[in-house]
């Protein structure tokens, strides 16, 4: 079964149980054999000296393709790992296998209405590989978000409980954005592994990034024009691009509609996208938001190629889940019971990458 067919299966959500059973059984086998049967399980995020980056017909570095930014790597480094920035390859594979197993096992005690694995939605089923980095964040050096400013602490201390009021629900739940819910482009590791694909399309004057999830998109002009005025906030910011050697540098402001981990609307994001190998795009970002954090934040995550094509993702048009969530919240409120499901509370407790 080709990767393309696999994605069709996932998006259309029709089960191809026999094939998936094969995948299912492949993971434990690979684990037993120390990954000897699996193709290189660790992403090489460094440049391959033997590989010459290709160019477009007009001479720009060619970043085009469909890239998967799913990951098991957490945004912040575990306190246990302290100053350990990188895993060895062996450790990285062991971590990956543990997380893949948790993807499966972690749901056994949860109330789910279908099994992600059955539909090929787990990350290990979607090309996500092991990463040598122990956290997405590498600066601050401890791999963790810097301390928040008193201003931000005050701003974020106002409780915003979720309930039956639609505006209290998350923007992804409401289909206002897809799973990555804002910038920087870090997949929501609390969600399923599907739909972490992002297509990059280039013309002489623009770079277009379209995401599978909700078909969120960023149009990045390359002509050096100024940013939009702050009167026009954008769901995915106002992006301006330029080429720095083989790297696309994207400068983004106007992020007033979404908030990365409590960031203010003044957050300034600089992203660098470099194709380091034919099948690896290195995504790097630096966040500056003095109204929220006492230091800048930098991180990086390698993206891997993924089979095409992209599909329509009509989330709001068939958001039957939201209707059921609101109804259940109203019923719970009438009963005087808790107005959040156990599952969401659990997920949020784990603070997945990109969630807020």
Partner 1 sequence: MRIDLKSLSIGAAVTAVLAAGAWMFMGAPAAGQSSGTPNAFPASFRAQRTVSGRPDLNGIWQAMTTANADVLDHDAYAGPYPAMMGVYGAWPGGQGIVEGNEIPYQPWAAEKAKENAAQRMVVRVTGDDSQNDTGDPELKCYRPGIPRANYMPFPFQIFQTDEQVMIVYEFKNAVRTIHLTDAYPEGPADSWMGWSNGTFDGESLVVDVKQFNPYTWFDRAGNFHSDGLHVVERFTPASPYHMQYEATIEDPKVFTRPWKVRFPLYRRMEPNVQLVDFNCVPFVEDMMYGNLDSE
3-state secondary structure of 331: helix
CB 232 within 8 A of CB 238: yes
CA 21 to chain centroid: 26
- Does residue 11 touch partner 1 according to CB under 8 A? yes
Answer for the pair 281, 63: CB distance below 8 angstroms, yes or no.
yes
Q: Write out the binding residues for partner 1, residues 288-327 only, by CB under 8 A.
A: 308-312, 314, 316-317, 320, 322-324, 326-327
Which 76-135 positions form the footprint of partner 1 (CB under 8 A)? none
Binding segment for partner 1 among 71-79, 83-91, 119-127, 175-183 (CB under 8 A)? 175-183
Number of residues engaging partner 1 in binding (CB under 8 A): 51
Minimum CB–partner distance for residue 224 and partner 1 (Å): 3
Distance in Å, CB of 105 to partner 1, minimum: 30
CB atoms within 10 A of CB 10: 22
Toward partner 1, which CB reaches closer, 104 or 310? 310
| Candidate list 223, 295, 338, 342; residue touching partner 1; CB under 8 A | 223
Nearest in space to 279 (alpha carbons), one of 87, 68, 8: 68
Residue 214 gets the label, from left (phi > 0), alpha (psi -120 to 50) or beta, of left
Q: Are 148 and 262 in contact (CB under 8 A)?
A: yes
Q: Is the peptide bond before 167 cis (omega within 30 degrees of 0)?
A: no
How far apart CA 237 and CA 311 sit, in angstroms, is 23
x/- binding map, residues 185-214, to partner 1, per CB under 8 A? Answer: ----------------xxx-xx-x-x----
Q: Is the preceding peptide bond at 194 cis, omega within 30 degrees of 0?
A: no
Q: How many residues does the chain have?
A: 356
Q: Minimum Å distance from CB 309 to partner 1?
A: 5
| Cα distance between residue 263 and residue 9, in whole Å | 37
Q: Which stretch binds partner 1 (CB under 8 A): 20-28, 123-131, 232-240, 262-270?
A: 232-240
The 233-262 contact track toward partner 1, x by CB under 8 A, reads: -xx------x--------------x-----
Shortest distance (Å) from residue 92 CB to partner 1: 34
| Rounded CA separation 340/162 (Å) | 7
Residues that bind partner 1 in the complex, under the rule CB under 8 A: 8, 11-12, 57-58, 64, 164, 166-167, 174-177, 201-203, 205-206, 208, 210, 215-217, 219, 221-226, 228, 232, 234-235, 242, 257, 308-312, 314, 316-317, 320, 322-324, 326-327, 330
């Amino acid at each position: 079964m080709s990767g393309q067919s696999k994605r069709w299966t996932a998006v259309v959500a029709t089960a191809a149980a026999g094939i998936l059973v094969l995948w299912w059984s492949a993971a434990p086998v690979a684990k037993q054999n120390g990954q000897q049967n699996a193709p290189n399980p660790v992403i090489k995020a460094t440049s391959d000296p033997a590989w010459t980056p290709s160019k477009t017909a007009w001479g720009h570095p060619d970043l085009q393709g469909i890239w998967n930014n799913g990951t098991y790597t957490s945004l912040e480094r575990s306190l246990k790992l302290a100053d350990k920035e990188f895993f060895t390859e062996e450790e990285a594979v062991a971590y990956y296998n543990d997380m893949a197993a948790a993807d499966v096992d972690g749901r056994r005690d949860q109330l789910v209405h279908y099994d992600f694995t059955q539909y090929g939605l787990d990350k290990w089923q979607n090309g996500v590989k092991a990463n040598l980095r122990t956290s997405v964040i590498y600066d601050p050096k401890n791999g963790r978000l810097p301390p928040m400013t008193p201003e931000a602490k005050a701003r974020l201390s106002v409780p915003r409980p979720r309930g039956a009021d639609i505006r209290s629900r998350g923007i992804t739940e409401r289909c206002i954005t897809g799973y990555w819910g804002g910038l920087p482009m870090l997949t929501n590791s609390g969600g399923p592994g599907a739909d972490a694909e992002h297509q990059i399309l280039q013309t002489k004057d623009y770079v277009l990034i379209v995401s599978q999830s909700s078909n969120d998109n960023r149009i990045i002009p390359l002509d050096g024009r100024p940013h939009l005025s702050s009167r026009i906030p954008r769901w995915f910011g106002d992006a301006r691009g330029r080429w720095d050697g083989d790297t696309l540098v994207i400068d983004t402001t106007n992020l007033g509609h979404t908030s990365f981990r409590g960031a203010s609307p003044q957050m300034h994001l600089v992203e660098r996208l470099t194709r380091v190998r034919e099948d690896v795009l290195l995504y790097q970002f630096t966040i500056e938001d003095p109204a929220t954090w006492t230091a800048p934040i930098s991180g990086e995550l390698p993206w891997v190629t993924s089979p095409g094509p992209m599909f329509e993702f009509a989330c709001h048009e068939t958001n039957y889940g939201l209707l059921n969530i609101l109804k259940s919240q109203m019923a719970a409120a009438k009963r005087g019971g808790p107005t959040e499901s156990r599952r969401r509370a659990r997920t949020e407790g784990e603070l997945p990458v990109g969630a807020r």
